[in-house]
Structure 1
Amino acid sequence: MGKKEVELYRCKNQHVTDAYDKAVFNICLQREKNGYKSFHLCGCEPGVGTTSVVMELAISLSCAGWKTVILDGDLRKGNNYKRLNADNKKGLADYVRGDIGKKDMIYKTNWPLLDYIPCGTINGENPLHLLYASKMAEVMEILEKKYDFVLIDVPSVNSSVDANIFAVKSDATIMVTAMDGSSKKCLEDAYEELIANSANVVGVIENKISMEEYKRYLKDYDYFDKKKFVKNRKEKYEAD
């Protein structure tokens, strides 16, 4: 019996997907200008929605024709606590430990150009021993040869040192913060810690932003609602 396909679904709100597409443009620009292929994403604190951000970005990249893989680099939470890993027991930790081959750690998703690697099973060992293992460097080398983009989902900066470890294993770091809860100081502290550990921080994604707040960022927020957009533009011109 073959491995079960991982099903990933993106948000159906076109304003949200458009925001992710803008982030993807900047990621592609980093690849074009600097040759970056592996991006590790980490929250400035727990609960900011990093995993959801990684999935949306990966789906957008695959839709744009890029062969992409999501690597679950959180080796501290068990599979039962993760919505994507419940049915996929074997993965990264099992490969690093030498229990499975590289093909066995990679799972297909319902998106043709997008694959997924679960964190795998932790047998009571210290996750740091796996992260520092020589085969972890081998994993990154394999993935960067096989895929156009590697997106790594890791624990938040202030919850473990794992984010700092992956920072030096990947080409670039993208921080994730929540507009409805993260403080400016929390973001600044996380940034300073990453920089101190030689992370190449290329940007910050603001997650969990309200639609009202998003309207303030995007002048043409109503663009996709064509009738509303035309009406609003007409009213603006008449006012002018």
Structure 2
Amino acid sequence: MANIRFHSCLQENQAVRDAYSMLSGNIHLGKENKDSKSIVITSSEPKAGKTSIAVNLAITLAIWGKKTILVDADMRKETTYVSIPKWVSNLGLAQYLSGHAEYEEIICYTNIEGFKYLPNGGVALNPIGNLCSERFNTLLERLKEEFEYIIFDSPSLDTISDAVIISTKVDSAILVAKIGKSNLKAIKRSKEKLEKVNANILGVVINDVSKKHYKQYLSSYKYLYNARCKNEKNEKPSKNAVLA
């Protein structure tokens, strides 16, 4: 299929690269004890930065030499975080699960070696039914045969249960929370939703962490601050900063 170009925030700041490396390392170490090959990324509310986490986590794993695929499993919206050329077929997850596309038609190559992408295919008529279908199980098994890591970017848990359904089929789940936005009670409710279906929750990733708070938690890692960015003097949070 097409060669989709991804932009990663990993090139922008050493601290960001190290944060994603720590997140990837924690996942890899956890995998040694329990299989965490397929992971769903979700949040308690929209705009918490889960898509940025999913994209850059997948890219980090690929850079490490792990064959990785990012699956956009939000079939309730058009794809917005990657530019797909007009000449490329718009087939994706929704079309495959509804039986209107085959596996070879929906897998996209990217500009990053070892990293592939499966688009959502646009808005689906029946997202829940698609996720509960046997074709989703078949797809997951096929992906597990071909990739070392499968990262699912799913809708938030505030009003819909897509991520809960996916969590019952994949190995693990990660919750994303955003400093200054995510409500602790909402995070607890999301955690409880996942626990009710016995999802294996790897943990919570805190997004949008300012340099000040990052240094507070990781004060011994002075090398994180060797990188200099244009906005280094600004104490505003970086949208791409994470604390795993």
| TM-score, reference length from structure 1 | 0.87
Residues 148-178 of structure 1 show CA distances to partners (whole Å, capped at 9, x for unaligned) of 0000000111131101100101000111000
Matching residue's letter, 2:108: Y
Stretches of structure 2 that go unaligned for 5 or more consecutive residues are 229-244
Displacement after TM superposition at 1:122 (Å): 3.6
Displacement after TM superposition at 1:121 (Å): 3.5
* Match status 1:119 vs 2:120: yes
Alpha-carbon contact 2:9-2:16 (below 8 Å) kept: no
| Match runs of 1:127-146 below 5 Å | 127-146=127-146
Q: Could you list the runs of 4 or more consecutive aligned residues of structure 1 that deviate by over 6 angstroms after TM superposition?
A: none
Matching residue's letter, 1:108: Y
Rg comparison, structure with higher value: 1
Instruction: State the partner residue of 2:36.
Output: 36
Higher helix content, 1 or 2? 1
Matching residue's letter, 1:161: S
Instruction: State the partner residue of 1:206.
Output: 206
Displacement after TM superposition at 1:180 (Å): 2.1
Instruction: State the partner residue of 1:73.
Output: 73
| Match runs of 1:96-175 below 5 Å | 96-122=97-123, 125-175=125-175
| Match runs of 1:13-24 below 5 Å | 13-24=13-24
For the residue of structure 2 that corresponds to 1:169, the secondary structure is: coil
Instruction: State the partner residue of 2:82.
Output: 84
Between the aligned partners of 1:67 and 1:175, the Cα distance in structure 2 is 23
Between the aligned partners of 1:179 and 1:152, the Cα distance in structure 2 is 22
Stretches of structure 1 that go unaligned for 5 or more consecutive residues are 229-240
Displacement after TM superposition at 1:62 (Å): 0.7
Between the aligned partners of 1:8 and 1:32, the Cα distance in structure 2 is 30
Instruction: State the partner residue of 1:236.
Output: none
Matching residue's letter, 2:165: I
| Bigger RCO of structures 1 and 2 (CA < 8 A, at least 6 apart) | 2
Matching residue's letter, 1:84: V
Are residues 56 and 217 of structure 1, via their aligned partners in 2, closer, same or farther at CA, if it must alter by over 3 Å? same
Are residues 56 and 116 of structure 1, via their aligned partners in 2, closer, same or farther at CA, if it must alter by over 3 Å? same
Are residues 214 and 227 of structure 1, via their aligned partners in 2, closer, same or farther at CA, if it must alter by over 3 Å? closer
For the residue of structure 2 that corresponds to 1:189, the secondary structure is: helix
For the residue of structure 1 that corresponds to 2:9, the secondary structure is: coil
Displacement after TM superposition at 1:85 (Å): 5.8
Displacement after TM superposition at 1:36 (Å): 1.8
Alpha-carbon contact 2:65-2:114 (below 8 Å) kept: yes
Alpha-carbon contact 1:10-1:59 (below 8 Å) kept: no
Between the aligned partners of 1:33 and 1:73, the Cα distance in structure 2 is 27
Between the aligned partners of 2:68 and 2:183, the Cα distance in structure 1 is 32
For the residue of structure 2 that corresponds to 1:209, the secondary structure is: coil
Displacement after TM superposition at 1:179 (Å): 1.2
Instruction: State the partner residue of 1:58.
Output: 58
Are residues 214 and 225 of structure 1, via their aligned partners in 2, closer, same or farther at CA, if it must alter by over 3 Å? closer
Displacement after TM superposition at 1:78 (Å): 2.1
Identity of aligned residues (%): 31
Between the aligned partners of 1:103 and 1:170, the Cα distance in structure 2 is 21
Alpha-carbon contact 1:5-1:110 (below 8 Å) kept: yes
Residues 26-50 of structure 1 show CA distances to partners (whole Å, capped at 9, x for unaligned) of 1111222212200101012111000
Displacement after TM superposition at 1:225 (Å): 4.7
Between the aligned partners of 2:225 and 2:170, the Cα distance in structure 1 is 39
Matching residue's letter, 2:81: R
Residues 49-103 of structure 1 show CA distances to partners (whole Å, capped at 9, x for unaligned) of 0000011111110111100000011011123xx1226546211111112222211
Q: Could you say what the CA RMSD is over the residues aligned between the two structures, in angstroms?
A: 1.9
For the residue of structure 2 that corresponds to 1:206, the secondary structure is: strand
Instruction: State the partner residue of 1:197.
Output: 197
| Match runs of 1:196-235 below 5 Å | 196-225=196-225
